[in-house]
Structure 1
Amino acid sequence: MTYPVISQVSLDPVARQGFLSKPRRPISSLPRQLPHQRLVFEYDGTFVLGDRRLHGDEPHVLHAASVSVVDVTKDHPTTIRVPINSSGAHDFTVSIHFRCTVDEPIEVVRAGLTDVTEHLVTYVQAYHKLFELGRGHGLHEVHELWTLVHAQVKAYTTVVPCVLPGMTAEFSGLNVHAPDEIAQGRRHYETSLHNIRGEHGLRDVKRKLDRDYELDEQDYLHTKGHSANDFTRQEAALDRDQQITEAKKIRDLLNSGPGAADGLYVTVPGLSGQQIAERYAALGDREYSATQRGIQQEHELQVVQARARADVVRAAIAQGLFNETTGKELLATFDEVEPEAEVRDLERPAYEAQAEVTAGDNDDDFFMEEDVRG
């Protein structure tokens, strides 16, 4: 589609319908115009701008030889492309952008300005210095060349404005491009570089996530270990406290009175009936043995005391401290022993105390020195 003239259509003469009927050109035979477009009719060697609403019987519509559709958009963007030399075998391509506005549609059609790009290219090519700017730059110096070309084109369009019949064109900017094959190679290079960086970035992110996961797992295990240790310590402390409490209970029970230990021994939790019976039997045997030991010890003590008194009497007789009558009196002091039997025993070379002999609590004081000598 060209600009500013979108299309041009030749019109056939309108045939007469009848003798009395008024001729009319069908509106449907005319190009359809949009809100930003106007129709310009070629009529009788001149050009007439059509109204927005047509009836078909207007003279310039009825007898028009052609009609043109003109785009009257304000600041319509238009781009032209011109090549400029580089320092190598390839050329740069400069895309120059203009803002175009149709002020007089009739003048545009009369001048035959169907495609404004052709006129703009001719206008730019008139600036010969532009095509020498790239000779000192390689294809990799596009950005440096853009600055230079932009400054030169802007100065040129300012000093030498573009003059077009029925419309204006203002410079709005430009781009400098390397050849397509160079641009494609660079795009491929940049895409590959971007992909490589992306892959490295993904690996770095993955390593970081793995490291963070390992650290979190270590923290979890460390915390879990501490918690387990704390639980073990607490459990041990509770067990220790319970043991201490049970020990205190046992101590209090043992201190509660005689027989408490035996009762504790028999009433240990978890014993069967047979075990309890066996423990009761063991307690009976132990009590019987203890009673027998007590009787035996008492008997042995009496024997020792009797022997001691006999030794004293024997020593006194040997020293002549008392006569036979005194010795009998002394011997009569033994419990349930006749004096004569005691004297006979003293005359024997050795004295053995009998089991039935008992001594009082103060028998050791009976043989005081003053009693023996008196």
Structure 2
Amino acid sequence: MTVPYPIVDQRSLAPVPPKRLLGPKRTRGIEEIPQTAAGQRLIYRIDGDFLLDNSALPLDSTSVLDATHVSVVDVSSDVEVFVELDIPSKDADKFTMRLTFVCTVTDPIAVVRQGSPSAASALRAYIKSHHRIFELGLDYPLAEINTARLKLNAQVKAFTTVEPPTIVGVSVELASVEVLTPTEVSEFEQSMRQQEQHHRIQFGLQRSSQVLQHHKAEFEYVTAAEAQRAELERDADMRGYQRYQFTEQSRVVPNDALSALTNAYSVGDISAKELAERVTSLEADKLEYERAQAQERLERERTESRELAEWKRENKRLRWEAHRTDTAEEWLYRRRELEIKRERELRNREWSREDLAIEREDKRRELEAKIDIVRELAQRGYLDTANVNLEKVVDNMLAGTREQANPESAELTDLKAPELEAADNDEEANDEEEREEDVH
């Protein structure tokens, strides 16, 4: 709850009964006199006069006993008084302007004598007396609040400089002028910021996902290559081991089967026919073994070639899929940006059309006002004068209507334009000539 300023409290004091012969001493009760803080003073009204109490008058003082009214005045220095006004805007809404005044009571008795318990009410009426402040807001919609702030701030400061606020017994100075941000504008800007941040986060997540997929594909490619290299190395080691085993066995037995058979024939273990048959069989086995080795080597090379081709195709497919995903996501993000930009342009065009419609309506009203003025001048007979500048007279009457509150005084002022004065002088001169002719 806001504490009243500068008069914090006011009370009427009941008369104190006169002292009796054996009665108690005349005094007032503690509950009758309001309690004051360090920066507050009591003002007593005694027979139409006022007395300042600096906490020195006791309750049984003659002045306190004779007082019929007591007031508590706040005499603290630089007390802030807030005044809020609603300023109509261009789009049928309102700006909220908050003014802060710094007040100091210089004459508490004058404050009580004046009887103004609320400085905020007096300052609000003072600001409302400047009608130009309420007209400035009509030039700006809520979206242009920053421009409206500058205009209203400058207008209020200029007004308080030319016509400073005055409150009897109180010194007043303007401390600050604030135009509060409307709730819908604040919520709209906050929503736009949140959407922009959301888009940035989504874009960052998409970029991170793309980088992660790229690293994953590269890791799988490197892993597969290393696995294949390890498999080839194992095959090479196995073949090397087989060659080593064959070499070790060759050291124990003769170098070849033919030599063994020849050795056996020389010692008589086999006959010549058996030798020939054995040699023929060995040659056939050798040829079959060589064909089998060649076939196995060919099959192994074909298998390795197919596996390598399949791995290359799969790697190419994975890279193409990643590229297509990146392109699609980037297209969707750009499409969303274009939609947001198109929405802003449509909103700006709508606002421009509304401003143009309002401007046309103002011009139509001004034209109707001029036509009404011309019709009124014609009814009064002022258009019969040949020297009347009709457009200038209409403009002067419109300007006088805006500046003066009394239409009758404005009409009289406008009719004293230079063109009408010249017409009146010509009519007077013609009347004098006619009177002279009648005399002769």
- For this structure pair, what is the TM-score category when the shorter chain's length is used for normalisation? 0.5 to 0.7
Partner of 1:168: 171
Partner of 2:294: none
Contact 2:149–2:179 under 8 Å retained in 1: yes
Report whether the alignment pairs 1:98 with 2:94: no
Residue 111 of structure 1 and its aligned partner are, at CA, apart by 2.0
The higher-RCO structure (CA 8 Å, 6+ apart) is: 1
- Give the TM-score normalised by the residue count of structure 2: 0.48
Distance 2:265 2:57 in 1: 145
Distance 2:30 2:256 in 1: 130
Query: What is the correspondence of 1:265-284 to structure 2 with a 5 Å cutoff?
Result: none
Report whether the alignment pairs 1:64 with 2:67: yes
Partner of 1:256: 251
**Does the residue aligned with 2:103 lie in a helix, a strand or coil?**
strand
Report whether the alignment pairs 1:152 with 2:160: no
Contact 2:140–2:148 under 8 Å retained in 1: no
Residue 53 of structure 1 and its aligned partner are, at CA, apart by 7.7
Residue 14 of structure 1 and its aligned partner are, at CA, apart by 3.9
Which letter maps to 1:10?
S
Contact 1:92–1:139 under 8 Å retained in 2: no
Contact 1:94–1:175 under 8 Å retained in 2: yes
Check 1:54–1:132 CA distance in 2 against 1; reply closer, same or farther (3 A cut).
same
Pairing partner for 1:212 from 191, 205, 208: 208
- Give the TM-score normalised by the residue count of structure 1: 0.55
Contact 1:80–1:117 under 8 Å retained in 2: yes
Partner of 1:191: 187
Check 1:72–1:241 CA distance in 2 against 1; reply closer, same or farther (3 A cut).
farther
Check 1:298–1:145 CA distance in 2 against 1; reply closer, same or farther (3 A cut).
closer
The structure richer in helix per residue is 2
Deviations 1:267-326 (A, max 9, x none): xxxxxxxxxxxxxxxxxxx9xx9799854139999xxxxxxxxxxxxxxxxxxxxxxxxx
Contact 2:153–2:177 under 8 Å retained in 1: yes
Deviations 1:211-240 (A, max 9, x none): 422431441243144224314423542453
- Specify every segment of 5 or more residues in structure 1 that has no aligned partner in the other structure, as ranges: 263-285, 302-374
| Larger Cα-atom Rg | 1
Distance 1:256 1:12 in 2: 142
Check 1:18–1:24 CA distance in 2 against 1; reply closer, same or farther (3 A cut).
farther
**Does the residue aligned with 1:164 lie in a helix, a strand or coil?**
coil
Distance 1:290 1:72 in 2: 144
Report percent identity of matched pairs.
Answer: 28
Deviations 1:333-371 (A, max 9, x none): xxxxxxxxxxxxxxxxxxxxxxxxxxxxxxxxxxxxxxx
**Does the residue aligned with 2:252 lie in a helix, a strand or coil?**
coil
Query: What is the correspondence of 1:279-290 to structure 2 with a 5 Å cutoff?
Result: none
**Does the residue aligned with 2:271 lie in a helix, a strand or coil?**
helix
CA RMSD across the alignment: 4.5
Contact 1:95–1:174 under 8 Å retained in 2: yes
Residue 157 of structure 1 and its aligned partner are, at CA, apart by 2.1
- Specify every segment of 5 or more residues in structure 2 that has no aligned partner in the other structure, as ranges: 277-440
Contact 1:42–1:60 under 8 Å retained in 2: no
Distance 2:57 2:84 in 1: 40
Query: What is the correspondence of 1:1-374 to structure 2 with a 5 Å cutoff?
Result: 1-15=3-17, 19=22, 21-52=24-55, 56-80=59-83, 95-124=98-127, 127=130, 137-139=139-141, 143-175=146-178, 187=184, 191=187, 194-195=190-191, 198-199=194-195, 201-202=197-198, 205-206=201-202, 208-245=204-241, 247-248=243-244, 250-258=245-253, 294-297=269-272
Check 1:123–1:208 CA distance in 2 against 1; reply closer, same or farther (3 A cut).
closer
Partner of 2:412: none
Distance 2:188 2:130 in 1: 40
